[in-house]
Amino acid sequence: MRKVGLGVLVLVLFVPNALSFAVEDELSSVIDELADRLAFANEGYVRAVSGDTVYIDLGQAAGIWEGTRFEVVRLGEPILSEGKIIGYQEEIIGEIEVTRVRKEMSIAKIMSQTKDIQEGDKVYQLTKRLEGIAITEFPYGEQFNDLTRDIEDRLYTAIVQRGLQVMERKRLAEVLEEQAAEWTGIFDLATAAEFGKLLGVEGVLIGNLSDQAETLLITARLVDVETAQVVAAAAVNLRKTPKILEALGSGVRAKPSVIWKKETTELPQGRTVFFDDFTIRPNEQWNITNGKWTVTDGRFTALERGTGKWYDATLELGKMAAYVIEADVWIGKSGDNCGTGTCYTRIIAYLEENHSVMIYLYGADKTHGIEAYIGSYLAAKKEFEADNPVHVRIEAERGFYKVYLNNKKLTDFFDPDCQPEAVISVGLGIHYGTRGCSGAWVANRAFFDNFRVEVP
């Protein structure tokens, strides 16, 4: 079977999501099917002819819509390569245009023909070559969630794996920022075309998720920016497993997430502005400022470990006068017998005017003390078991801070020396050090997971 590539460029944002491996495999398979239908032109056969009406074996399930055109060819002698049939001689005999679409078939009218079109003739979908497209996040009803972002990411990856190029993402982020006040992220053909013109692309891939009894229907349409018409479409079904339903209900927000620029952005209130569960790899927004970082077993950690080494990863999220940071943190144990080896992690907020906020979690042997600092200000201290993750939640508004550990309020305090106008970036840090006794550096790693930043 011949497949004809559309030759498009893809423009998206990337964020991974938390699904089990079994569900990930199923979701990946569904997205692969969707990508095949979008990236390659449909082909089928004429099954019947009546006058100037032609019936073909491609319908709604193949993403066919009214107005889709097909080239009709008559197959001749087989073409062989080393004894294997790789195709057939072809004679172009006409074009047809779809007038009505059914589930697995379409009815078309003959637009032109050099010979009478017959049952058994081959049809190839005619598609316009688009030199650049943008992929949008598909809404679920009128909202977005962890699953919609995961589908966007997987669709991007699947299309790239089919040999299509990826164009620069910076322009999309800039346009989303410019339009953030009024843009909902939900498109029809006209608004998709308008959005594509703002981006300077020739096509925009839009879609949505809808409930279908025990499945979710994922539909996608590639819109020609110039004509506001669909040039490719596809639909696939995804089972509503418990993990899929969980993802539908997590990370719920009114608009798609975007990459925010430090210098101009004022973040809208009342939504998650960043989330990373490190399922496969870290989000591309992470800026590794010290050392090398990696994802191990779905957790974020320093790739290498060394005595007295600092490892920092930060995010440029824009201006936030008030914000909430949450993360699960595993603290490494001491590498020596007397418990004086050190390992500590930091949750960092860099502020304007060279200020910074750092929440430190210290690790040693089977327990670790937790100290919350604002600059050099000691807020509190408590003991927890190091073998289990500590869920940290920090609520901040200018100089006021509340720290929660494992959903229990540890402290709240006000730092009179640290009242900046706004946070401009946040991040994570790890330090492996030595103290006393054998001087051995910490043997176990420190890990982060489920890092979230919200604007209340």
Closest to 390 measured CA to CA, from 345, 348, 445, 427: 345
Q: Are residues 120 and 220 in the same domain?
A: no
Region of 204 please: left (phi>0), alpha (psi -120 to 50) or beta.
beta
* Neighbouring C-beta atoms of residue 213, cutoff 10 Å: 8
- Contact by Cβ (8 Å): 125, 43: yes
Closest to 331 measured CA to CA, from 282, 383, 280: 383
Q: Which residues pair with 382 in a beta bridge?
A: 370
CA distance 125 to 64: 9
Q: Are residues 358 and 315 in the same domain?
A: yes
Task: For residue 96, give Cα distances in angstroms to 19, 118, 449.
Answer: 44, 12, 54
Q: What is the CATH number of the domain that holds 300?
A: 2.60.120.560
Would residue 421 count as lying in a domain?
yes
- Contact by Cβ (8 Å): 116, 104: no
Would residue 329 count as lying in a domain?
yes
**pLDDT (0 to 100) of residue 120:** 95
pTM for this entry: 0.49
CA distance 251 to 153: 15
Q: Are residues 434 and 325 in the same domain?
A: yes
**pLDDT (0 to 100) of residue 142:** 85
Q: Are residues 134 and 219 in the same domain?
A: yes
CA distance 407 to 424: 26
Question: Which residues of the chain fall below pLDDT 70?
Answer: 1-24, 160, 163-183, 257-271, 306-307, 332-344, 351-355, 362-387, 398, 414-422, 433-444
* Neighbouring C-beta atoms of residue 115, cutoff 10 Å: 12
Would residue 76 count as lying in a domain?
yes
Domain boundary among 98, 125, 152: 125
Q: Are residues 121 and 139 in the same domain?
A: no
Domain boundary among 78, 103, 125: 125
CA distance 342 to 365: 9
Q: What is the CATH number of the domain that holds 69?
A: 2.40.10.410
Q: Are residues 202 and 350 in the same domain?
A: no
Would residue 134 count as lying in a domain?
yes
**pLDDT (0 to 100) of residue 77:** 93
| Identity at 151, one-letter amino acid code | I
**pLDDT (0 to 100) of residue 421:** 59
Would residue 255 count as lying in a domain?
no
Q: Are residues 384 and 336 in the same domain?
A: yes
Domain boundary among 62, 93, 125: 125
Per the structure, the complete domain to which residue 429 belongs is given by: 271-455
CA distance 13 to 136: 9
Would residue 113 count as lying in a domain?
yes
Q: Are residues 108 and 242 in the same domain?
A: no
Closest to 115 measured CA to CA, from 75, 76, 74: 74
Number of domains observed in the structure of the chain? 3
Q: Are residues 52 and 83 in the same domain?
A: yes
Q: What is the CATH number of the domain that holds 229?
A: 3.40.50.10610
Q: What are phi and psi of 397, to 5 degrees?
A: -145, 100
Would residue 265 count as lying in a domain?
no
Would residue 262 count as lying in a domain?
no
Q: Are residues 371 and 401 in the same domain?
A: yes
Q: Are residues 85 and 175 in the same domain?
A: no
Q: Are residues 195 and 112 in the same domain?
A: no
Per-residue tokens: 368: 């670790």
SS (H, E, C) the chain: CCCCECCCEECCCCCCCCCCHHHHHHHHHHHHHHHHHHHECCEEEEEEEECCEEEECCCHHHCCCCCCEEEEEEEEEEEEECCEEEEEEEEEEEEEEEEEECCCCEEEEEEEECCCCCCCCEEEECCCCCCCEEECCCCECCEECHHHHHHHHHHHHHHHHCCCEECCCHHHHHHHHHHCCCCCCCCCHHHHHHHHHHHCCCEEEEEEEEEECCEEEEEEEEEECCCCEEEEEEEEEEECCHHHHHHHCCCCECCCCCCCCCCCCECCCCEEEEEECCCCCCCCCCEEEECCEEEECCEEEECCCCCCEEEEEEEEEEEECEEEEEEEEECCCCCCCCCCCEEEEEEEEEEHHHCEEEEEEEEECCEEEEEEEECCEEEEEEEEECCCCEEEEEEEECCEEEEEECCEEEEEEECCCCCCCCEEEEEEEEEEECCCCCCCCCCCCCEEEEEEEEEC
Sheet hosting strand 287-290, strand order edge to edge: 287-290, 309-320, 423-433, 342-351, 356-363, 367-374, 377-385
